[in-house]
Amino acid sequence: QVQLVESGGGLVQPGGSLRLSCAASGSIYRINTMAWYRQAPGKQRELVAQTSGGGFFRGTTDYADSVKGRFTISKDNAKNTVYLQMNALKPEDTAVYYCNVKYFPDSNYWGQGIQVTVSS
């Protein structure tokens, strides 16, 4: 049974920072990609940041244009954990953030979601 446990959300003022964590467990397969998505009220879920590869090979990262330069995705392969460091937060970053993990060959899992609210 694969589990994704998210933590680190909450309420922060504009310009502040938060770090989200997502620990994956329960699979015998190798991780392909780890990513963060978000969904704001009335909007579709969107990709925020994704990281893939790594190990002996240089991994790749991708970001939504709206968060480039402010958010950083990273991972600890030994812990099967992905992080999202969010700096210079804006009210429009307010959303439920979801962790997503894809395993080889082709399975896909979601976390339960964690609320991030940016407000003064």
Q: Is the pLDDT of residue 101 over 80?
A: yes
Average pLDDT, the chain: 92
Percent of the chain with pLDDT over 90: 77
Q: What is the pLDDT of residue 49?
A: 96
b/e burial code for range 44-74 (CB count within 10 A of at least 16 → b): eeeebbbbeeeeeeeeeeebeeebeeebbbe
pLDDT for residue 111:
96
pLDDT digits (tens, 9 = 90+) for 17-73: 999 999 999 888 888 899 999 999 999 999 999 998 655 555 788 999 999 999 999
Look at residue 104 in the predicted model and tell me its pLDDT: 87
The pLDDT of residue 57: 54
Q: Alpha-carbon distance 109 to 42, whole Å?
A: 23
